[in-house]
Chain A
Amino acid sequence: MTSIVDKGYLAVKPQASANTPVIPTIFLPYITDNVITNQNFERDMRLFGIDWSGLDILRGSKEHAGDIEFYVDPFTVGHFLNMAMKKGATTNDGGSPLVYTHPFTAEDSDRYTIEFSVGGYYTRRYFDVRVNTLDISIDNGKVKGTANVRAGGEWSVRNLKTALSGAVTSLTFDQSYSNYPAKGLVAGDTLIIGSTEVEITGVASDLQSVTFGSKSITASAGDAIYLKCQTPSYEDKRPILMFENVLIGAGVDAATALTNATCANQTQVNEISLSVNNNLSADPLSGDDCGPRNIQATVKDGSLTIRRLFSDISQVQKWINASKQAFVIKMLGTLGNSTTREEVRITINNAKLITNNNPVNQGGFVYDEQEFALLYDEDDAQAIKVELFNLEDGTDY
């Protein structure tokens, strides 16, 4: 049997707390991912009286991480922001329909359970997921996001511990992969054993087994048990945000930058990319096989790169003098109601040029090629803020 990649999906949902996976029910369109579990296997180099390198491999610390690429639209980006930053109180504009504003600041985010369907065949579930780095760039005129995520654990495939025959209401997993093999499953999940499906009604508190309604199953010890893919469902798809609708306001401070983020006063650039890094700690932790693994931000940082036509020496001067600059980047979508657009608005309070190069490209224009460090601003008491304007009331975040 072959499987087609395109039959896969990404589903997400915020968790109420750490180490409490949920069934993800919010399906997000995405481009690609390379999120994997790395068991850090290495050759077993212990001496066994032979002249060959190893009889077996040994498992190391498990790591669950990788990148997810998606186009930025006002619906999809909300969940990646909520996985990357701390959401504040949602407000609305009072219009019809309501356009909501969700502010995000650089603090520990919600934890998510996310699932990837592998060609519609089986599911890779990760829980306690947070975004490590969130990159925003431009891809052929479209605003693209790349989220590097880290997770506390995964559930995809396990083995049956003891054979099953006749009508049964529970099954036990073996401990080949984990001492707590049911960790990651929740009531309502559907498991597949051979050609039989069971819907979990309970996960044992010792995380060794699950219960379900009576089912006739014939299976042998060691048989694979895997998580069934969902039938994906999507909410109203929002248009992807486009580079041609990105307005960049620049100024000596964030307030000035905001007033300049208009068609008349904008700073136009040829290329722009932004990276926000939570520098997540995902170190192995004693007891994290059953308990939570700390996936939390350490010192956060960010960078901004811009390529724009050289027009005068002002940017060179700012680089020479290490002057503060502020930016408001408005990524405008379509009107949500008669007055308010859907939008991703990024406020950068204190950016300073690390490099400002004018490279020689014969036959071409002179460009300012710039890399900014995003710094904490003492006056505004923040380094970065993201505001998302969309039609979601925020209860899913």
Chain B
Amino acid sequence: MEYKNKTKKDLVLMGYGKVKAGATIKTNKKINNANFEEVSVKKEEEKIIKDKEIKI
């Protein structure tokens, strides 16, 4: 699973260290913190396809 710090602030996520604003971390555990959102694989795939379309 991958989680993104969706705030505009750098945060120290206990057990994971410092996560800069907008940065992501990978973990095999669920993060229960509303400052972080799970980056779904589907979303990432959509983003890659969109990026490719833009390039074309």
Contact = CB atoms under 8 A, between A and B. Distances in A.
A233 B11 contact: yes
A254 interface: no
B10 A231 contact: no
A182 to B, nearest CB: 19
A231 B36 CA distance: 10
Contacts of B34: 23, 25, 188, 230
B24 interface: no
B13 interface: yes
Interface string B1-43: 0000001011111111001000000000011111110000000
A307 to B, nearest CB: 39
A229 interface: yes
A265 to B, nearest CB: 38
Most buried by B among A23, A228, A230, A233: A233
A105 B48 CA distance: 51
A7 to B, nearest CB: 9
A234 B32 contact: no
Tell me the interface secondary structure of chain A in the complex: loop
A25 B9 contact: no
A231 B11 contact: no
Nearest to B7: A25
Contacts of A56: none
Contact of B33 (A197, A233, A235, A236): A233
A232 B33 contact: yes
Contacts of A229: 32
B21 to A, nearest CB: 10
A234 B9 contact: no
B3 to A, nearest CB: 9
A235 B11 contact: yes
A148 B48 CA distance: 52
A190 interface: yes
Interface in A212-255: 228-236
A228 B9 CA distance: 24
B32 A235 contact: no
Nearest to A123: B32
Contacts of A190: 32
Contacts of A236: 10
B13 to A, nearest CB: 5
Contact of B15 (A25, A197, A228, A231): A231
A230 B34 CA distance: 8
A231 B16 CA distance: 10
A197 B19 CA distance: 25
Given A25-B34, A190-B32, A232 B14 contact: yes
B14 A233 contact: yes
A230 B12 contact: no
A231 B12 contact: no
Given A25-B33, A25-B35, A230-B33, A235 B10 contact: yes
A190 B36 CA distance: 14
A233 B32 contact: no
Interface in A108-147: none
Most buried by A among B9, B14, B16, B19: B14
A326 to B, nearest CB: 37
Interface of B: 7, 9-16, 19, 30-36
Given A230-B34, A231-B13, A235-B9, 14 more contacts: A25-B34, A197-B30, A231-B16, A231-B33, A232-B13, A232-B14, A233-B12, A233-B14, A233-B19, A233-B36, A234-B12, A234-B14, A235-B10, A236-B10
9 contacts: A23-B34, A230-B32, A231-B14, A231-B31, A231-B32, A232-B13, A233-B33, A233-B36, A235-B9
Q: Which 3 A-B pairs have the closest CB atoms?
A: A233-B11, A233-B13, A23-B34
